[in-house]
Amino acid sequence: MAYNFYAPRDIYDEDHYAFRDMVRAYLDKYVVDNIVKWEDEGNIPHEAVQAAGEQGLLGIAVDEQYGGGGIEDDFRFRAIAIEEFARVGATSLASTIATHTDIVIPYFSHLATEEQKERWLPQLASGEWLAAIAMTEPGAGSDLRGIRTTAVKDGDEWVINGAKTFITNGIHAHLIVVAARTPDENHPKGGGITLFVVEDDRPGFSRGRRLEKLGMHAQDTAELAFENVRIPDENRLGELHNGLRQLMSHLPLERLSIAVTGAAGARAVLKLTTEYVNERRAFGQAIAEFQNTQFQIADMVTRLEVTQAYIDQCIEKLNRGELSAVDAAKAKWWATETHKDIVDRCLQLFGGYGYMMEYPIARAYADTRVTTIYGGTTEIMKMLIARDVLGTK
């Protein structure tokens, strides 16, 4: 019996597999036939994102009163969706949706006032609006404490000035959660970081160039500029000066989402590769019959299964509210480095064809490289883990 890469796992039940069927139906109808076109054009039409919202794929964790699915404590549904997007190679769209659904929406769900939730969540859950989060800056990178964008109180308004870069969904986002430094001479530390919501039609807000990336060409990444952007205090998200803690508290979910993406991507590429080596022949036999091929496949499948087992444990911890930042860091760096390694080795098994962009393995190779960087680099993840183990600062 051939190995089943998508065999049922104990972590899922009937509801999750029913949801998988719904995701597959969406992908078959709106996505599969358009992936290459979107990559070539460097753009995903908003209609595709909105269709995902209409199918209930964006607001799974949003409370039902705001148009969501009301399933806040079960990340397994998102894990199922991530696996399915990876299965068909819809990497750019998956990143667009993951940023919107797994990274930005939780800030609204957990930090917004009732009025803010009513104002923003229905449109985010439906896909009418797309969201982005603006943390990274040209001079700060992964160092959130190095944020230089400022928000200064002026009467009942805040005036935001600064620049952000590497912002996923930056070109198409309707709402941007902005991390800005809020100076305060009355604060013990002179102020702190605060989160604000900026609508894309605010005067002074502008989108810079759309950044050209190595991979994920259809998914937009942009530079954003804020020049005397005025927003009311009603657009402040969460407590004043407490933004850094709020950002840190949401990182485990973001990093687990990336880890799930890594395992899902490795699974999809391995399945693609096993099919190829069984069909492709060299020196009078299938590539799958060479011992090197067999050893490579055995090693990669084992690594995938071990990785998946840890990620599944992390998903269950997240659902129970027990996933620590350190455990999420372990999952993130290990899964993405494993993903990167597996894709590289699989491309080698394709030989010269693996270098041709007409083969999905080539696109996967380019798309995969960023996963060990965004959401916190592998080096940052290891530093967090080491500090926890060693008790250092």
User: Which H or E run includes 237?
Assistant: strand 236-237
Q: How far apart, in whole angstroms, are the C-alpha atoms of residue 27 and residue 82? A: 12
DSSP 242: B
Structure tokens at 170: 């930056």
Q: CB of 99 within 8 A of CB of 58?
A: no
Instruction: Give the CA count within 13 Å in the CB-facing half-sphere of 183.
Output: 9
254 given a catalytic annotation = yes
Provide DSSP, 88-123.
HT-HHHHHHHHIIIIIIHHHHHHH--HHHHHHHHHH
Q: What are phi and psi of 141, to 5 degrees?
A: 60, -130
Instruction: Say how far apart CA 115 and CA 210 lie, in whole Å.
Output: 33
Instruction: Yes or no: say if 332 and 391 are a contact pair by the CB < 8 Å rule.
Output: no
3-state secondary structure of 44: coil
Fill in the amino acid letter for 268.
A
Distance between CA 31 and CA 48 in Å, rounded? 7
The one catalytic residue among 227, 254, 275, 279: 254
Query: Which SS3 state, helix, strand or coil, does residue 130 take?
Result: coil
DSSP letter string, 26-72:
HIIIIIGGGHHHHHHHT---HHHHHHHHHTTSS-TTS-GGGTS---T
Q: Provide the β-strand partners of residue 160.
A: 151, 229
Nearest 10 degrees: CA dihedral of 291, 356, 284, 269?
A: 40
Give the Cα separation of 365 and 342 in Å (integer): 10
For 327, the token pair is 């455990």
User: Could you list the active site residues?
Assistant: 254
